[in-house]
Structure 1
């Protein structure tokens, strides 16, 4: 058993192929994500934020596991899992999708990669979709295979990620469009490279296709990247809240639906496919959601870190919702938060109170995002 500062590492939680490299490069703490260790700190959260928005960071996100769907009915089965219309999706594309249950609740909000007409990867947020998909497949009557492939992503994010990639691959990826992917090789290391990432900054994800080459890939990237300003890092809570990126289990879960999270664009009720949750989502769309995700600008002293509990939101002495994610943004010089509020209290400009334990602070409802992305392209 090894120890990374105050976090004890054992065998009951899986390690990514990059685990040893992150230990060498100074990781200070981990969380557990998809039953795997996920690096959460290489030092200051604020320093990591500035490294991301001003330079580039390399993040071990191998815990974002892939669910691979293959077989003659792969496309039809994948469409059954998501309310987003996939009929126009081509091999080489990526799409942000939702997976919903029969009540319209969100089970996951992954990136979907289409590798071939009969092969898809669901690049997961934190939930057991491999088991869900296997269960659905048993009773689907479709000819599909469901498995977890040997694929582990690194995120290279930030404005200097493009010159780092150019140093690694030359001009081979200069024409790779946003939300597209391509098979590549680096010094004999097999990869799939996508123009995606969880940062709202320009960036890439590199999916390692041979878990034995994790050290080789990490060190190869850092060797060319460090002189260009690249540092090891972790997904930035500050930047993702600024950009209103959802964190599954924090801001979305099985008890939330797409319409209350401003994700109705990912639901196509007019398509012919009878996806899971279609009847429930049609009803919710007709009746309208009872809650709405909003941004809050919170008064008070700068928060010293992200919230570790949900905070009640109060209006006229009554609980009207909750803060799901909160942080201090050094760029905006403001405490900012994502919150789910009853629709009657979710109008922009409304004033509410946030109960942080025994402390109450005033907050104003604002439009999202707090800070728009620096990514280029239309997004998907």
Structure 2
């Protein structure tokens, strides 16, 4: 019998899928956006193989939505992000950055445009609802900013489309990468998008009525049964293979977009006065002092991901830190994302990584580590 009372009190919210995830084997949870998120369905390596060979269903209700509506909603969204949104169509999604006045990254959400002046920011782990409401106060713009009753699931993996066809019909095959559509499943109101935090073919299913969470979870598991669907959690192995960021680990308020190679997400050639524009102009003009790189660490297979930032050194001098590291059973290598001084960031450079008790040689390599052109997700 699994104890459903995790002891954090009512200030940590349970997702609409909580009971179903426990029923299907979730035994470990962490906290993300003030909510429980399932982190343990057994062996994380098995979860990885389930993802890349079949499909997994992940409770990501912690990806809270900031809903922005009103006559000036589009203008307001463009103030929040340095990414050019002039070609963002209704029904389209975009990966964006939210920056502060110093050019630091506050969040890296997916932006969904549901209507002319109706947007969702699907958040990583930080309180952007409060930031957006604060920005709006003195903006002079006609906007309403709330957290709607919306809770996403991620259905990810190579057979995810066949499961979606069973649920929604053949037309779902026409949904393009980073586009969305409004759907209903047995009267359950949904938004479905071709997005996900896995670097695999997949979908996010946004529930718009939290009272039907467990019902929706069970319907998807039932539809995927013949295809070998498994309950799961977001895969650290696969997301590092794909070079995908985890906010608070690989990026934070002190990280700017250029350090991450996200120049394409920053449009400085515009009249829009987005937050952080002047700072980002200065950073681009002066050049960055550090850069995110990929590392192969030469040691025995890591047991789980790192839980602290490991120093990266050269000749005993600390020149950066490993932000995310894990053993990839597919690549049979220890792979890592690291932030290092720009002087030492060349591909092929040999550095040392200092783990909790030992130093190991590592080499800088190109990222992503696997499927660098993202052909899998775009298929």
Q: Do both share a fold (TM > 0.5)?
A: yes
Q: How far 1:224 moved relative to its partner?
A: 1.1
Deviations 1:177-221 (A, max 9, x none): 100000000011000000000001000000000000001100100
Whether the aligned pair in 1 keeps the contact of 2:202 and 2:377 (CA below 8 Å) is no
Q: What is the rounded CA distance, in whole Å, between the counterparts of 2:8 and 2:220 in structure 1? A: 26
**Alignment-derived partner of residue 35 in structure 1:** 34
**Alignment-derived partner of residue 75 in structure 2:** 76
Q: What is the rounded CA distance, in whole Å, between the counterparts of 1:159 and 1:10 in structure 2? A: 38
Whether the aligned pair in 2 keeps the contact of 1:48 and 1:236 (CA below 8 Å) is yes
What RMSD in Å do the two structures reach over aligned CA positions?
Answer: 1.2
**Alignment-derived partner of residue 116 in structure 1:** 115
TM-score by length of 2: 0.97
Whether the aligned pair in 1 keeps the contact of 2:177 and 2:378 (CA below 8 Å) is yes
Q: How far 1:170 moved relative to its partner?
A: 1.2
Q: What is the rounded CA distance, in whole Å, between the counterparts of 1:324 and 1:368 in structure 2? A: 14
Q: What is the rounded CA distance, in whole Å, between the counterparts of 2:29 and 2:143 in structure 1? A: 35
Q: What is the rounded CA distance, in whole Å, between the counterparts of 1:264 and 1:141 in structure 2? A: 30
Question: Is 1:285 matched with 2:254?
Answer: no
Which stretch shows the higher mean deviation, 164-173 or 89-98? 164-173
**Alignment-derived partner of residue 213 in structure 2:** 214
**Alignment-derived partner of residue 248 in structure 1:** 247
C-alpha change, 1:240 and 1:39, in structure 2 (3 Å) is same
Q: How far 1:59 moved relative to its partner?
A: 0.2
Question: Is 1:375 matched with 2:376?
Answer: yes
Whether the aligned pair in 1 keeps the contact of 2:201 and 2:378 (CA below 8 Å) is no
Q: What is the rounded CA distance, in whole Å, between the counterparts of 2:8 and 2:167 in structure 1? A: 32
Secondary structure of 1:3's counterpart equals coil
Whether the aligned pair in 2 keeps the contact of 1:202 and 1:374 (CA below 8 Å) is no
Secondary structure of 1:22's counterpart equals helix
Q: How far 1:297 moved relative to its partner?
A: 0.2
Secondary structure of 2:295's counterpart equals strand
In structure 1, list runs of 5 or more residues that go unmatched. none
Whether the aligned pair in 2 keeps the contact of 1:184 and 1:191 (CA below 8 Å) is yes
C-alpha change, 1:237 and 1:181, in structure 2 (3 Å) is same
Whether the aligned pair in 2 keeps the contact of 1:4 and 1:29 (CA below 8 Å) is no
Question: Is 1:234 matched with 2:226?
Answer: no
Which stretch shows the higher mean deviation, 33-42 or 10-19? 10-19
Q: What is the rounded CA distance, in whole Å, between the counterparts of 2:7 and 2:295 in structure 1? A: 36
Secondary structure of 2:57's counterpart equals strand
Q: What is the rounded CA distance, in whole Å, between the counterparts of 1:168 and 1:374 in structure 2? A: 25
**Alignment-derived partner of residue 300 in structure 1:** 299
Whether the aligned pair in 2 keeps the contact of 1:53 and 1:159 (CA below 8 Å) is yes
Secondary structure of 1:172's counterpart equals helix
Q: How far 1:11 moved relative to its partner?
A: 2.1
Question: Is 1:309 matched with 2:312?
Answer: no
Deviations 1:278-336 (A, max 9, x none): 00000111111110000000011110000000000001210000000000000010111
TM-score by length of 1: 0.97
Q: How far 1:357 moved relative to its partner?
A: 2.0
**Alignment-derived partner of residue 175 in structure 1:** 174
What is the aligned length?
376
**Alignment-derived partner of residue 262 in structure 2:** 263
Whether the aligned pair in 1 keeps the contact of 2:45 and 2:329 (CA below 8 Å) is yes
**Alignment-derived partner of residue 193 in structure 1:** 192
**Alignment-derived partner of residue 66 in structure 1:** 65
